C-alpha cells in the first residue's frame, strides 16, 4: 500500500512539473520589450487569417518563437460559420524533418479497395485547423513541403490524393514561419506567398536591453507572479482583437488609397498583383485593430512596410533592401494632389 501511495505521489509530481513547465513557457506577449513590427504582424494575422501568414526573419534570441506561443495563449481560435470557441489558439509545430504524409495525412488504399470505404489518417494540417501552424527554421524545410503548406493555407482546404482516391478536409490555419537568414533563404516564389514579413534584430538601445534582462530574470524567479502582473494587459489585448474581428466586416477604403497601393507596388518593381491586394487587406486590418472604420494614409504606409520587403526582385548575389522613400514619394504626391 505504501508503494502505491509513493507511486501516486510520484505521478502527481510529474504532472505538476509538466503544468509548471507549460506555465514557464508562457511568457506574456505584452511583456515582450520592443519588436513592435513582429507583434503587429502576428496580431494582424489572428484578426484577419485570410491575410496569409507571416514570415519572421532574424538572428537568434530575438523572441521569435516566444511571441508566437505567447500570442496563442490569449487569442481564440479562428472563427468559422459553424465553429466557435472561447478557448485559446493552439500552436501546432511542424518539424523540418516531417514527411509529406505526416504533413497532409494518408489514405489507406488497401482498406478502401477491400471495403469500399475511405480511411483517412489525419496529418499535421488537420491538427492545425483553426489554429497556428508554426514552422521554425522554415528555410530548411524541403521546398515541396513548403509548397503544400502554402497551397493549403491559401485554399483553406487540404486535399489528399492517392491511387485515384481523393480525400479533403478543412485546413484554415495561420502559417507562421521563422528563420535565420544566415542559414539560407526561401525561393522568391515561396517568399511571395507569405502575406507579411518582418526582420527582427536585438535591441541596440541600452535601456531597452536592460529592461529585457530585468523582465526575464523576474519571470524566471517567479513565473506565476510575473504572468499575473500582465493579466490585465493580456485581457485587454484579447478584447481588442475580438473587437477588431468585428470591425473588419465594416471597414471602408477609398479609391484614392487603392490607387496609391497600386503605384507603390509598381514603383517598388514587385511582380504580380498579390502585393497590391495584400497591402490593401493589411491596411484595412490595421484600421480594424485601431477601432476605426475608415482606412487612413498611415495605415497604408505601415502595411506597405510589412508587405513589400520580402517581395523585392533581387539579382543573383544582390542584397537589395526595402526603400521606404518610394512610399513617401507616392504619399507626398497624393497629399499635393489633394
% of the chain exceeding 90 in pLDDT: 30
Q: Is the pLDDT of residue 332 over 80?
A: no
Note the pLDDT of residue 224: 92
pLDDT tens string 68-103? 888 887 777 777 655 556 577 788 999 988 888 888
If asked whether residues 152 and 288 sit together in one domain, one would say no
Note the pLDDT of residue 163: 67
Q: Is the pLDDT of residue 46 over 80?
A: yes
42 within some domain: yes
If asked whether residues 166 and 260 sit together in one domain, one would say no
Note the pLDDT of residue 111: 65
If asked whether residues 64 and 140 sit together in one domain, one would say yes
55 within some domain: yes
If asked whether residues 65 and 185 sit together in one domain, one would say yes
Q: Is the pLDDT of residue 62 over 90?
A: no
Q: Choose the most confident range, by mean pLDDT, from 245-254, 265-274, 322-331.
A: 245-254
DSSP letter at 43?
Answer: H
Q: For residues 98 and 312, which has the higher predicted lDDT (pLDDT)?
A: 98
If asked whether residues 169 and 291 sit together in one domain, one would say no
Catalytically active residues are 274
If asked whether residues 184 and 288 sit together in one domain, one would say no
Q: Is the pLDDT of residue 311 over 90?
A: no
Burial group, residue 302, by CB count within 10 angstroms (0-12, 13-18, 19+): middle
If asked whether residues 42 and 178 sit together in one domain, one would say yes
| Residue 24: pLDDT band with limits 50, 70, 90 | very low
Note the pLDDT of residue 171: 86
**Distance separating alpha carbons of residues 158 and 173, to the nearest angstrom:** 11
Q: Taking residues 135-153, report their average pLDDT.
A: 86
210 within some domain: no
Answer whether 330's CB lies under 8 Å from 263's CB: yes
17 within some domain: no
If asked whether residues 178 and 284 sit together in one domain, one would say no
Dihedral, CA atoms, 289, 68, 79, 277, nearest 10 degrees?
60
Q: For residues 163 and 40, which has the higher predicted lDDT (pLDDT)?
A: 40
All three cell numbers of 277: 491586394
All three cell numbers of 155: 485554399
**Distance separating alpha carbons of residues 96 and 138, to the nearest angstrom:** 7
pLDDT tens string 214-263? 999 999 999 999 999 999 999 999 999 999 999 999 999 999 999 989 98
288 within some domain: yes
Answer whether 145's CB lies under 8 Å from 160's CB: no
CATH code of the domain containing 84 = 3.40.50.300
CATH code of the domain containing 321 = 1.10.8.80
Q: Quote the domain boundaries for residue 102.
A: 27-200
**Distance separating alpha carbons of residues 156 and 50, to the nearest angstrom:** 9
The dihedral of CA 76, 77, 81, 84: what is its sign? negative
If asked whether residues 58 and 163 sit together in one domain, one would say yes
66 within some domain: yes
22 within some domain: no
Average pLDDT over the chain reads: 81
Answer whether 193's CB lies under 8 Å from 148's CB: no
All three cell numbers of 35: 519588436
Instruction: Give the SS3 label for residue 314.
Output: coil
E strands of 27-144, at which residues? 54-58, 91-93, 106-107, 120-121, 132-136
Q: Indicate the residue among 200, 216, 243 that finishes a domain.
A: 200
Structure pTM? 0.82
162 within some domain: yes
234-244 in b/e burial notation, b at 16+ Cβ within 10 A? beebeebbeeb
If asked whether residues 163 and 275 sit together in one domain, one would say no
If asked whether residues 190 and 259 sit together in one domain, one would say no
Note the pLDDT of residue 292: 95
If asked whether residues 32 and 141 sit together in one domain, one would say yes
Q: Indicate the residue among 200, 223, 242 that finishes a domain.
A: 200
Note the pLDDT of residue 314: 62
DSSP letter at 294?
Answer: B
- CA angle 191/45/70 to nearest 5° reads 105
- Counting the structural domains of the chain, the total is 2
**Distance separating alpha carbons of residues 199 and 310, to the nearest angstrom:** 10
**Distance separating alpha carbons of residues 169 and 14, to the nearest angstrom:** 36
Q: Indicate the residue among 200, 229, 260 that finishes a domain.
A: 200
Amino acid at each position: 500500500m505504501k508503494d502505491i501511495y509513493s507511486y501516486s505521489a510520484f505521478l502527481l509530481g510529474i504532472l505538476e512539473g509538466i503544468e509548471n513547465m507549460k506555465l514557464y513557457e508562457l511568457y506574456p506577449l505584452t511583456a515582450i520589450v520592443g519588436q513592435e513590427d513582429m507583434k503587429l504582424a502576428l496580431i494582424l494575422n489572428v484578426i484577419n487569417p485570410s491575410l496569409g501568414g507571416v514570415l519572421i526573419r532574424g538572428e537568434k534570441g530575438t523572441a521569435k518563437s516566444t511571441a508566437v506561443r505567447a500570442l496563442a495563449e490569449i487569442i481564440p481560435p479562428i472563427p468559422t460559420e459553424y465553429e466557435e470557441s472561447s478557448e485559446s489558439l493552439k500552436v501546432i509545430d511542424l518539424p523540418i524533418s516531417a514527411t509529406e504524409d505526416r504533413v497532409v495525412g494518408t489514405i489507406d488504399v488497401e482498406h478502401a479497395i477491400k471495403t469500399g470505404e475511405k480511411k483517412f489518417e489525419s496529418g499535421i494540417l488537420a491538427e492545425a485547423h483553426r489554429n497556428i501552424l508554426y514552422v521554425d527554421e522554415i528555410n530548411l524545410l524541403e521546398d515541396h513541403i513548403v509548397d503544400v503548406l502554402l497551397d493549403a493555407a491559401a485554399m483553406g482546404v487540404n486535399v489528399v490524393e492517392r491511387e485515384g482516391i481523393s480525400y479533403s478536409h478543412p485546413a484554415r490555419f495561420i502559417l507562421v514561419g521563422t528563420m535565420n537568414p544566415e542559414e539560407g533563404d526561401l525561393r522568391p516564389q515561396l517568399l511571395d506567398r507569405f502575406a507579411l514579413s518582418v526582420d527582427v534584430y536585438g535591441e541596440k538601445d541600452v535601456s531597452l536591453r536592460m529592461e529585457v534582462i530585468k523582465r526575464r530574470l523576474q519571470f524566471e524567479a517567479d513565473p506565476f507572479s510575473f504572468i499575473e502582473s500582465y493579466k490585465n494587459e493580456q485581457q485587454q489585448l484579447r478584447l481588442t482583437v475580438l473587437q477588431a474581428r468585428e470591425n473588419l466586416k465594416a471597414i471602408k477604403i477609398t479609391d484614392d488609397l487603392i490607387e496609391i497601393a497600386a503605384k507603390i507596388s509598381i514603383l517598388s518593381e514587385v511582380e504580380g498583383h498579390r502585393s497590391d491586394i495584400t497591402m490593401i487587406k493589411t491596411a484595412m486590418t490595421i484600421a480594424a485593430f485601431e477601432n476605426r472604420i475608415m482606412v487612413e494614409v498611415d495605415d497604408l504606409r505601415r502595411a506597405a512596410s510589412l508587405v513589400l520587403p520580402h517581395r523585392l526582385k533581387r539579382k543573383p548575389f544582390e542584397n537589395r533592401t526595402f526603400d521606404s522613400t518610394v512610399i513617401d514619394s507616392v504619399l507626398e504626391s497624393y497629399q499635393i494632389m489633394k
